[in-house]
Amino acid sequence: MHLYSIQKPCVVKKYLEEVKAGGIIIKSDALLPNDIIRYVKDKDIGETAEIQWKAMMENIYQGEENKFKNCLAVCNITYAMSAAPVAELAASLGILVSELSEEPAWKGKVITLGPLPDKLPLLHSIQGSDLKSRYDFVISTCSNRYREGVDFDQVCDLILEVAVNNNLKAEQMIKKVFVITDSVRFGGCSTSWKTLYEAKRSKFKEQGYGDDAMPHILFWNIWDIAGFMHYVEEPHPGVTLLMGSSKTLIKSFLDNGGEIGRHQLLEAAIANKEYQTLCVVD
């Protein structure tokens, strides 16, 4: 199922309108983050969308169930991704992960590509007192007019630099990095993922961090223009490449704290109602 058919806008809007009118009690798990953020600027139900976001964050993801407490998002919204549903998904996930991070060095932060000519990754504190203003900040800061992939080398170097500058201990190091974009670069390096990842891990060890300090990197290409190209690849135990976006895939990402492998992708693929009546005959 393609992103554009995740939720029919009229269904989401009707739910928020009913909540605003007091016709139904707000359900914290009723909408996905991108469904909520789509209406945060709506003049009639924007405030209700803010309340829905707060309920979702408080009742689903925080506390002991917070699976994103040691995570960081990289949002790179290229010109090709500027189509509203894709940009909304990237921004909403970036904001969600930033709000759930617990360590001060990472909480409320997002990584974006910097301006020309260097286009180096930069760590930003997301500004805004409400969801609408935070959404505006992320869209403005994380969007670029050039199609430039996120460089694996540079992202890892930035994370290590932040950790060293803040005197972070190994247990305070970020555990997972979600790169939400439509392309990835290797810094012009033709080496394998294994060689690249191990080289980065060596740099972490040189700074006094152990073997497990290097974060797991999920490169998620959410721009699935064909609508059916959903796949996952694991070229190295520390790297996952994911392509595609659907309601079930986004929900699986959230439910599993960003852990996406072939098993989760299969579950997401068969989670739609049309598959529920099927049975396996041995």
Which string of DSSP letters, residue by residue, matches 142-164?
A: HB-SS--PEEHHHHHHHHHHHHH
pLDDT in tens, 201-251: 999 999 999 888 899 999 998 876 555 567 888 888 999 999 888 888 899
Q: How does DSSP assign 25-94, residue by residue?
A: ---TTSS-HHHHHTTTT-TTTHHHHHHHHHHHIIIIISGGG-TTTTEEEEE-B-GGG-SHHHHHHHHHHH
Cα distance between residue 12 and residue 29, in whole Å: 12
What's the DSSP call for residue 17?
Answer: H
Q: Give the pairing type, strands 184-185 and 150-151.
A: parallel
Answer for the pair 150, 122: CB distance below 8 angstroms, yes or no: no
Answer for the pair 125, 108: CB distance below 8 angstroms, yes or no: yes
pLDDT at residue 188 tops 60: no
pLDDT in tens, 21-68: 998 999 999 999 999 999 999 999 999 999 999 999 988 776 667 899
What is the three-class DSSP state of 229? coil
Per-residue model confidence (pLDDT) at position 275 = 53
Under CATH, what is the fold of the domain 65-272?
Rossmann fold (3.40.50)
Q: What is the pTM of this model?
A: 0.88
Domain boundaries, the chain: 10-64, 65-272
What is the three-class DSSP state of 103? coil
Q: What residues contact residue 274 under an 8 Å CB cut-off, 6+ apart?
A: none
Q: What is the mean pLDDT of the chain?
A: 85
What is the three-class DSSP state of 270? coil
Higher pLDDT, 61 or 166: 166
Angle between helices 84-100 and 247-255 (to 10 degrees): 10
Cα distance between residue 38 and residue 88, in whole Å: 6
- CA distance readout (Å), 46 to 54, 98, 133: 13, 21, 12
